[in-house]
Structure 1
Amino acid sequence: MSKGLGRGLDSLIPTSPLVERTIGLKPADITEINVEKVSPNPNQPRYTFDEESLKELASSIKEHGVIQPLIVTKKGAEYELIAGERRLRAAKIAGLKTVPVVVRTYSEQQKLEVSIIENIQRHDLNPLEEAMAYQRLVDDFNLTQEEVAQKMGRSRSAIANTLRLLNLPIEIKRGLVDGKITEGHARAILAIPEPAKQLALYEQIVSQKLNVRSVEEKAKVITTKQSTEVSKTFSDLESKLRDAIGSKIKIQPSKKGGKIIIEYYGEEELERIINLFD
C-alpha cells in the first residue's frame, strides 16, 4: 500500500499485483466471470480515462492477462464493480470474455472508500476528482474532515487543502483537470480571496507558463496589496466616524461582519455619545 494511504483499510483492498500474497487469497477466492456481467461502480470517483493509456494496458493484458483481480460485490445475478474499472475497460478492449474477480460484501460507505483508496494508490485521480470524492464522503455519510483523514490515512490539513480546490472558479477547475496548471498552482491561487483576481492570475500562469514559486510570489504581492487597501479603507472610515462622533473609533472586521468600538472617558462623554443617537 502506498505510504500513508488507507491505514485501517488493508483488509478491504488489495495493494499489489500479487493479491494472493498481500491479502492472503487462495486460488479458490478468485473466480472468473463474464465481463458483460460486471456493471460499473456508480460511485466511481474517477471521471476521466486516458484512451492511449487504456490501449497500452489492453496490449499488456493480451500478453499477460489480468494479473490483479477486480473487486466486485454481488448484485442480483450480476456484479457491481468496486475497484478495477481501468482493468475492466482494458480487458474489454483486449477482447477478453472473462476477468478474474474477488467477490466481497461492503456497505455503501465502504464501497466509496475502497474506490477512492484504489484510485489514489494508482495515482489515477486528478486533484479535483480526489477533492470531489472526499466531499462525497462528507456529504453522503456525514463524515467530518478528521474522520475522512483517518479513513484515508492522511492528515486533516491535507484533506482540508484538497477540499479547498472545490472553491476555485470553474475555468480554473477545468484548467486543473486539463493539465494546464498543477495542484501546486491551484493552491497558490487559493491564497487570493477574490475570484476575479484568481482568474487573472490563472490566465497569467497559462500564457506565461509560470512555475509554482513565481505564482506564490505573485499571490503574496496581490494579497498584501489587497490587505493594505482594505486597511486604508477602514482607516478612512474610522476617521469619518471619529469626526462625526467626536470620539476614538475602532473598526474590527471579520469574515461575517465585524465590530465598531467607540471609546469614551467618563460618564459625561458616554452620555454625550448616547444623545447623538437619540
Structure 2
Amino acid sequence: MPKGSLNVSLKGADDIFSTEESRQEQQREQVQQIPIGELFPFKNHPFKVLDDESMQRTVESVEQYGVLSPLIARPRAEGGYEIISGHRRQHAAQLAGLDALPVIVRQMDDDAAVLLMVDSNLQRENILPSERAFAYKMKLEALKNQGARSDLTSAQIGPKLTAAEKVAEEASDTKSQVKRFIRLTNLVPELLDMVDEKKIAFNPAVELSYLDEAQQRDFLEAMNDTQ
C-alpha cells in the first residue's frame, strides 16, 4: 500500500473514532423529553417544594410558555430518573398538566449528584434555615467522601482546605456559620419548624441543638404551656 494511502486510512479511522466520541458526548448532554411520571425527587431532598405564591407564578409561566430550562436528572437503578436540579419546575409542570418535561440526563455518582443538587438550589434568594442546614450537611458529607477517595489516589500539593472550609468558600457563610447551621439538623422537627417560622431565633436554636431529644421535647412542652 502506498505510504500516502496508509496515512489517509489512519486519519480516516481516527476521524471516525473522534466523531463517535463527540456523538456520544452530545448524546449524554442532549435534552430529552421525559414523561413526567418517570421523574422522581432526589433522595432526602432538603429543599421544600411549596404551593405558595411563587409556585403559582411558576405554574402560570409554565402554562403560557412551557418549561424553558431543562431539568437535570440521572438514571435510577430501579427505573425512571432521579431529579438533581428542577424539582420546582417538575411540580409546576404537574400542576399545569404537562405530560413530559425537557431533561438533560447525566450519569453521576451519589456525591457528584449531591453537590450539583445543593449548589443549584443554594442560588435561590429565599432559603429556609432548615433547608440550608440539611443542604450544608449533605454537601459536607459529599465533599468528605470525595476527599477520602482523592487522598487515596493523588498527592496533595499545597495547603488542603477542609470540607467545611470548602462549603463556606462556595457559600455566603463563614466556616463557623456553616457548622452552626448544620447543628440545626439535631433539632427535633417541631423545633426546627419553629426556626423556619421565626418563632425561635437562630442563635438560641443552635444552643437548643446541643440538648438531647428528651430535653428538647421538655423545652417544646414548656413553650406550648406558656402560649
Q: TM-score, normalised by structure 2?
A: 0.62
Q: Which residue of 2 aligns with 1:157?
A: 176
User: Residues 53-64 of structure 1 correspond to what in structure 2 (within 5 A)?
Assistant: 53=53, 54-64=55-65
Residue deviations 1:133-181 (CA, integer Å, cap 9, x gap):
322344566464224334557531231121132344654322113x143
**1 or 2, which has the higher helix percentage?**
2
User: 1:92 maps to what in 2?
Assistant: 94
- Out of 29-38 and 85-94, give the one that drifted further: 29-38
Runs of at least 5 residues in structure 1 that lack an aligned partner in the other structure = 1-24, 208-278
After TM superposition, the structure 1 = structure 2 runs for residues 1-278 of structure 1, keeping only pairs within 5 Å, are 29-46=30-47, 48-53=48-53, 54-75=55-76, 78-123=80-125, 125-139=127-141, 142=144, 144-150=163-169, 152=171, 154-168=173-187, 171-177=190-196, 179-181=197-199, 185-190=201-206, 199=219, 203=223
Identity fraction in percent: 25
Q: Any idea what SS the aligned residue of 2:34 has? A: strand
Give the direction of change, closer, same or farther, for the CA distance of 1:153–1:114 in structure 2 (3 Å limit).
Answer: farther
Alpha-carbon contact 2:118-2:139 (below 8 Å) kept: no
Q: How far is 1:45 from its partner? A: 1.8
* Per-residue deviation, 1:39: 1.9
Pairwise CA distance, 1:55: 3.3
What secondary structure does 2:61 align onto?
helix
Query: Which protein, 1 or 2, shows the higher relative CO under an 8 Å CA cutoff with sep ≥ 6?
Result: 2
| Amino acid aligned to 2:81 | Y
Residues 25-82 of structure 1: CA deviation (Å, up to 9, x unaligned)? 9xx8322221122222114222x32223433321221011112111112336632211
Q: Conserved in 1, the CA contact under 8 Å of 2:49 and 2:87?
A: no
Q: 1: CA distance between counterparts of 2:103 and 2:120? A: 15
- Residues 230-249 of structure 1: CA distance to partner in whole angstroms, max 9, x if unpaired? xxxxxxxxxxxxxxxxxxxx
Aligned-partner SS, 2:52? helix
Deviates more, 1:33-42 or 1:81-90: 33-42
Contact 1:127 1:162 in 2 (8 A): yes
* 1:169–1:199 contact (8 Å) kept in structure 2: no
Is the contact made by 1:45 and 1:125 (CA closer than 8 Å) also made in structure 2?
no
1-side partners of 2:69 and 2:180: how far apart? Answer: 32
Q: What letter matches 1:159 in structure 2? A: V
Q: Does the Cα contact within 8 Å between 1:33 and 1:101 map onto a contact in 2?
A: yes
Distance 2:64 2:177 in 1: 39
Closer/same/farther in 2, CA of residues 38 and 101 from structure 1, 3 Å limit: same
Evaluate the alpha carbon distance shift between residue 73 and residue 193 of structure 1 in structure 2; reply closer, same or farther with a 3 A threshold: closer
Aligned residue pairs total 175
Q: Rg: which structure is higher?
A: 1
Q: In structure 2, list runs of 5 or more residues that go unmatched.
A: 1-25, 146-162
1:43–1:112 contact (8 Å) kept in structure 2: no
Q: Could you report, residue by residue, the CA deviation over 1:95-153 in whole angstroms, capped at 9, with x for unpaired residues?
A: 11111112223221111111112222124642112212322344566464224334557
- Cα 1:191–1:153 change in 2 (3 A) is closer
RMSD: 3.5
SS in 2 for 1:101: strand
How far apart in 1 are the matches of 2:52 and 2:134? Answer: 25
In structure 2, distance between residues paired with 1:189 and 1:75: 37
In the alignment, the residues of structure 2 paired with residue 140 and residue 194 of structure 1 have an alpha-carbon distance, to the nearest angstrom, of: 24
